[in-house]
Each structure stands twice: as structure tokens, then as C-alpha cells.
Structure 1
Amino acid sequence: MSWQNALVRWYLRNSFLPATREPIDVARVRAHTAKRVWTPSPPGGFRLREQYDAADAPLRGEWLLREAGATRTVLYLHGGGYYFCSPKSHRTITFGLAPRAKADVFSLDYRLAPEHPFPAALDDALAAYRCMLAAGRRAESIVIAGDSAGGGLALATLVALRDAGDRLPAGAVLFSAWTDLACTGASLRENDGRDPMFTGEVFARVAPLYLGGASATNPHASPLHASLHGLPPLFMLAGSTEVLLDDTRRVAERARAAGVHVECEIARGLPHIWPIYAPFMPEARRALDDAARFVQRVTVEADVPGPQSSATSIAS
């Protein structure tokens, strides 16, 4: 364990964890997160294109574009329990992944709960992916990625695309994915007190914010409960002490049983979505290295057009 990991775990245990025992205050959490966001500079050889106007939908969010041109694309879905965080809060991941994978990365600013409950986030992810295809980006050159709730959303997007008969992307990268909003994993109890970031019971309080009136076992909200046959390759990471560990472990087991190629690492003693601590934490840098290699392995290189306005993309 690196000293950087030890420091992050100490900070989370003393700062973040106590807050998960308190009643959920959506406005306070959002304001706190927005104030604490550290924004790295775009990596060399890339330019940032922000498009946060309502007219930018379905590609509302931000592009990180490779100036030399890219042959692959990552559609990134940020975490935050479906009710907070943004593409800006997760730039350490997207800005770290893009140069490693030599890919354009689009980070989606999907609608948040509770104002926009399920299936709003899923509808936004589906619309963004379909818009990319309509604009000329090939499915075989796209990987969908996400962390925590965004990881569950990425997997749910794959399931929904398959169910609708759409062309599937080349694969998915899932960091500490929350895949079971019914909160049935044994690790919620077994790792309660070991996870430096979350109590085991907090997810049962967060889930209704997103679900609204939907069933917690709806496969498009909780993809753990979906049939996973026919999905593209999955790259999954989770820490051994996470309360959400079983949300990754069970998906990996069920996906493999369904014939899906799965690369899954359970890393000892690393916190929830540790890739977000790049470049500070060496384990985070290695995780992004591994994820980028997966993106390069599963994608078919293809000429991809630059991002267009949503109106042009839909019309093309």
C-alpha cells in the first residue's frame, strides 16, 4: 500500500465517512462537491470543449479531443449516487484516461435525481451514444465507461441497448460500479466499518432518490438483475474493503456465466473509485493504465469525426 493510498483512506475515514451517517441533504452535498472540485489542466495534445447549454443535448457535457486525431472514443458517465457530481468533478479520471487510450473522451452531463428520477439518466446515456453513432462514430470504436453510479449506468446502458437491438459498443470500463439498487450484497454488511468512505446502509437511503417509483430490481436501473448475455467485454475494478464490492463481484460472476468476456480486479485495500485520485496516487495511475490498455484492445480503430452540434449530429 502506498503512502498516498494510506493518506487518502485516512482523509476519507475522517472527513467523508461521517457525512454518510447523516440525513441526505441534496443541495448541501451538491454545493459542497462543487466547492471542492480541483480542476486539472487538459493533458498535452488535447483540447477541452465544454458544451453545457440545453441546446447541446443529447451531447451535453464536455469533450476532451485529441488534437492529432483519435481513432477511438470513450463515453464517460460520472458517479455521484445519481444525484450529485458532474463531468467537471471527474476530470482526474477523464483527463487521465484520454491520453493513455489515445482516445477522444466525452463526459456526459446527464440529468440528476431527485428532480429527474429513473429513467432520465439512462435515457440521456442512450441518447448520447446514439447521437455519436448518428454523427459517424463507429460502435466498434466506442467504449462506455463510468464509476460508482456511473458504472452501474454504463452497464445498464449496455443492457438497454442490447434489449433495443442497437449496435453495441466495443466494451465497457466499470470502476467500483453500483449495480444493485436493491442493496442485497453481503459486502454492505461485511465491509461496513472497513470501507473508509461509506457506511453499508447509506446506499439503501440513496437508491430511492433515483428510483422514484421504479422497482429496485428493474434491470435497467439495477443491471445486476438483468440477463447479461450478449454484452461486449467488461473491465471491472473494485477495492477489497468496499461496501459495494459485491456489486462488482456478482456482475463479474454472472457475466462470465453468460459467456461475456470479463477482466475483473479486486484490489486489496483501495478505496471506492480510486482512479479519481490520479495523478497523486500511484495505484490510481496504474488503474488508468490498465483501463486504457483494455480500451485499446477491444476497440477497432476507425476514423472518427469531430464533435458536431446536436442538431447537425441528429440530422446526419
Structure 2
Amino acid sequence: MSWQSALACWIVRRRLRPETAKPVIDVARARAYAARRVWTPKLPAGWHLTERNDANDFPLRGEWLTADAEPRQTTILYFHGGGYYFCSPRSHRSVVFALATQANARTFSLDYRLAPEHRFPCALDDAVSAYRRLLADGVPAQSIAIAGDSAGGGLALATLLALRDGSYPLPACAVLFSPWTDLASTGGSLVTNDGRDPMFHGAALARAAKVYLGDADPTNPYASPLYGRFDDLPPLLIQVGDTEVLLDDATRVAEKARAAGVIVDFEIWPNVPHGFQLFAPFMPEANRAVARAADFIRGATANATAQRLPEISIV
């Protein structure tokens, strides 16, 4: 355990965990807290950040990170975490910048609509629309990787289910950082890791789910992808911390996906806070995790592109 990870765990345990013990979620307070503490990393040399806010049939609202050099062959569609009710592309630039530069991929960080103003399935509708916009703009599906953390990780997996069920061409892979996949809150780690998790009390997840779901069924696979079918999904990389209350959300997805024949790279990292990848470049563990994710994306998109190339006849 690095001293940087120890410090991060101490900070979130002191500043964030007490908030998750409160019986009612104060959405405005959470958003104000996140806005005050947003740290914008230095823009990588040769890369540019631009906003996009379409009003088309398949809108894209969020931030593009692109480079001036040769055209990037890979596109990452990123979904930020925040319980579906706070945070934004801006709050997650550290992980997006690191993932884009290490994967050598242009990246779009989606600014999906937030609850409670826009409850389920608004976030999913926005995610699917963003992917369809990329396809409509001529981006090959096999060159796309979907990624997200926490609620964004669950949203990434739910998006795969919706795309498959809608018969859309699937992306090359998905990267899930500590995904929140069970909004019915049935994971055993919500209890066994309660007290070990430096960021959350286990009971906080059910309260957050209610903000997003309203009266919707928490076992709907498009809200809680754990309850969906995993057959025919592209390769998945899942990273989670061993002390997280969401450990079982990740573990059960990995087990179920493997049983369905999906290629799964599942990593449990010791002694790191939830969403530790956001601490890049400060935390060594975050840097290593993002580097592994970037390698996974490069390999998956290269394999998918090679498999879908037309056959060449040699005379």
C-alpha cells in the first residue's frame, strides 16, 4: 500500500464517509461539494479539450479530448460516476486524461442527465444515444471502447445490454471501474465490508438507488445490469478494491459473465479507495490500474478490428 493510497483513504474516510451515514441524501450539497473540489489536471501536450452539445436525434453532450497528431483509431466513450445524481465530465478529467493518453485514443466523456430531475432510464437513454451518435458519425463499432466508474461503470454495462438487445453493433470492449451493478443492494459485501470501505457505509447505496430509480424496479437489468443476460457481450475489464462495499457488485458480474462465455479480466486491488483510478497521476496504484486498462483497450480494439477486416484474396 503506497503512502498516497493511505492518504487518499484517510481523506475520504474523514470527509466523505460521514456524509454517507446520513439518512437522507442532500443532492444539492453533494453537487456543491463536488464542484468546489474539482481539480482539473494539466491538459496533456498536443491534446485539446472541446465541449459538444448537440440537439440532434442522437445527441452528444460532454467533452471531447483529442490530439493534433495522427488520427486516433480508437474512441473511448466514458461515463462518470457519482451515484447518478452528481459529478460531471469535469470532475472526472483526471482518469479520462490518463486513460486517453495511455490508450492513445480520443475520448468522449458523456454529460448524461442526472437524477432526481431525470430519473431512470434517462442516463441510459443518453448513453445509448451517444453511442448511436458515434456510429452515425462514421465511427466503426470495433474501434470503440466503453468505460466508466462506479455508477458510470454500471451504466457502461447496462449500455452494452441495451445495445445488444437493440441489435446494434457492439463496441470492442468495456472497462468497468468499481461498477455499481446491483441497485437492489443484495451484495454481501455491503455488510462484510461496511466499516472497511473508507468511502461508503453500505446502507448508503440503497438510498442513492432510490434517488435514481424513484419507483422503478431495482432489478430491472437496464438499471441493475447484474440481473441481465450476459451472452454475446464483448470482453470486459473489471477493477475493484478489496475493501469496497461494492466488491460483490463486481465479483458477481465477473462470475456471471464468465459463465455466459464472455472474456473477463477481473482485478481485485488491495487497500485502495472506491474509484481509486481517479487519483491518477497522484497515486501509484491508480497509474498502474489505468495503464492496465489502456493496454486492455488497445488489445481489444486491435483484435476486434482485425477480426472484422474483409478477407483478402491472393491470386
Q: TM-score, normalised by structure 1?
A: 0.93
Match of residue 27 from structure 2: 26
C-alpha deviation, 1:54, in angstroms:
5.8
- SS of the equivalent of 1:189 reads helix
Q: Which runs of 5+ in 2 are unaligned?
A: 306-315
Q: Is the 8 A contact 1:71 1:302 kept in 2?
A: no
Match of residue 9 from structure 2: 9
Query: What does 1:162-311 correspond to in 2, within 5 Å?
Result: 162-300=164-302
> Matches of 1:71 and 1:30 in 2, distance apart?
35
- Higher mean C-alpha deviation, range 20-29 or range 293-302: 293-302
How large is the RMSD of aligned CA atoms in angstroms?
1.5
C-alpha deviation, 1:209, in angstroms:
1.1
Question: CA distance change for structure 1 residues 179 and 302 in 2, over 3 Å: closer, same or farther?
Answer: closer
C-alpha deviation, 1:302, in angstroms:
10
Structure 1 segments of 4 or more deviating over 2 A?
Answer: 51-57, 300-303
AA aligned to 1:203 is L
Q: Which runs of 5+ in 1 are unaligned?
A: 304-316
C-alpha deviation, 1:194, in angstroms:
0.2
> Matches of 2:135 and 2:169 in 1, distance apart?
9
> Matches of 1:302 and 1:228 in 2, distance apart?
19
> Matches of 2:167 and 2:159 in 1, distance apart?
12
C-alpha deviation, 1:40, in angstroms:
1.1
C-alpha deviation, 1:202, in angstroms:
0.2
> Matches of 1:66 and 1:159 in 2, distance apart?
31
- Higher mean C-alpha deviation, range 16-25 or range 195-204: 16-25
> Matches of 1:302 and 1:237 in 2, distance apart?
22
AA aligned to 2:215 is G
C-alpha deviation, 1:52, in angstroms:
4.4
Query: What does 1:87-98 correspond to in 2, within 5 Å?
Result: 87-98=89-100
Q: Is the 8 A contact 1:187 1:243 kept in 2?
A: yes
Aligned residues between the structures: 303
Q: Is the 8 A contact 1:229 1:259 kept in 2?
A: yes
Match of residue 51 from structure 1: 52
C-alpha deviation, 1:66, in angstroms:
1.9
C-alpha deviation, 1:45, in angstroms:
2.1
- SS of the equivalent of 2:185 reads coil
Alignment deviations for residues 289-315 of structure 1 (CA, whole Å, 9 cap, x no partner): 000000000004999xxxxxxxxxxxx
Match of residue 137 from structure 1: 139
AA aligned to 1:208 is K
C-alpha deviation, 1:224, in angstroms:
0.2
Query: What does 1:70-89 correspond to in 2, within 5 Å?
Result: 70-89=72-91
- SS of the equivalent of 1:299 reads helix
- SS of the equivalent of 1:203 reads helix
Q: Is the 8 A contact 1:76 1:107 kept in 2?
A: yes
Identity of aligned residues (%): 61
C-alpha deviation, 1:31, in angstroms:
1.0
> Matches of 1:125 and 1:245 in 2, distance apart?
24
C-alpha deviation, 1:51, in angstroms:
2.4
> Matches of 1:86 and 1:301 in 2, distance apart?
31
- Higher mean C-alpha deviation, range 37-46 or range 110-119: 37-46
AA aligned to 1:30 is R
C-alpha deviation, 1:214, in angstroms:
1.2
AA aligned to 2:287 is R
